[in-house]
């Protein structure tokens, strides 16, 4: 700032840089206090992220301690030996619904045979109607052929005790055969 005196000389006012820094620090402190007050009024926790970061640092420190202890106990060879060697270029995706359908049909018939022989029922979470629906959804020609062969083999045994299993195999076969004809 400049001003002229009565004798026409130019007067220059100066401000100390230290005083200017003090004023700026007081402004910053006042703004921070206002932010804290407004955050409290709005129900915002300004320390939430800080506490989360502190907890993550504590967890990271604990994990690093575990790694250091393991390395000290077993050496670097163990750690490098168990590192993953996954290569995305070698990844394969298998679609084996057909295999699971065969497995489920076989297990279902096998459970029915066990019940026929032992008389002890197992706790089954799925009803016969639901199981047939699941098989229908995953059925293919080979499953139909497998059920036909299973029904034929069970029928050839001529054991009346296996009648429920034989009926189940026939029912599943006919239902799925209709679907694939």
The whole-model pTM stands at 0.45
- The confidence band for 33, taking pLDDT boundaries of 50, 70 and 90, is very high
Token pair for 141: 């020609």
Q: Tell which residue, 62, 90, 66, 91, has the closest CA to residue 79.
A: 66
Mean confidence (pLDDT) of the chain? 85
Q: Helix or strand or coil: residue 11?
A: strand
- Taking the C-alpha atoms of residue 117 and residue 132, their distance in angstroms, rounded to an integer, is 23
First to last CA, the chain: 100
Q: What is the pLDDT of residue 129?
A: 85
**Who has greater pLDDT, 71 or 89?**
71
| pLDDT digit string, tens, across residues 138-150 | 888 999 999 999 9
| pLDDT digit string, tens, across residues 154-178 | 889 888 888 888 888 888 889 888 8
| pLDDT digit string, tens, across residues 79-110 | 777 777 777 777 766 677 778 889 989 998 89
Ranges of beta strands (E only) in 102-180 are none
């Amino acid at each position: 700032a400049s001003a002229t005196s009565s004798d026409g000389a130019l007067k220059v006012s100066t401000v100390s840089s230290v005083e200017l820094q003090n004023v700026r620090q007081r402004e910053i402190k006042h703004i921070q206090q206002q932010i804290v007050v407004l955050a409290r009024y709005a129900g915002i926790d300004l320390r939430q992220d800080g506490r989360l970061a502190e907890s993550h640092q504590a967890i990271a420190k604990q994990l690093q301690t575990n790694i250091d202890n393991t390395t000290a106990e077993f050496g670097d060879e163990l750690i490098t030996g168990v590192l993953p060697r996954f290569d995305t270029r070698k990844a394969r995706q298998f679609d084996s619904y057909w295999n699971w359908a065969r497995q489920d049909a076989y297990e279902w018939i096998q459970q029915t045979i066990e019940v026929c022989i032992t008389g002890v029922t197992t706790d089954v979470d799925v009803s016969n109607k639901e199981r047939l629906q699941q098989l229908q959804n995953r059925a293919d020609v080979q499953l139909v052929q497998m059920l036909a062969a299973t029904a034929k083999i069970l029928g050839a045994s001529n054991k009346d005790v296996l009648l429920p299993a034989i009926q189940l195999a026939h029912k599943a076969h006919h239902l799925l055969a209709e679907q694939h004809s």
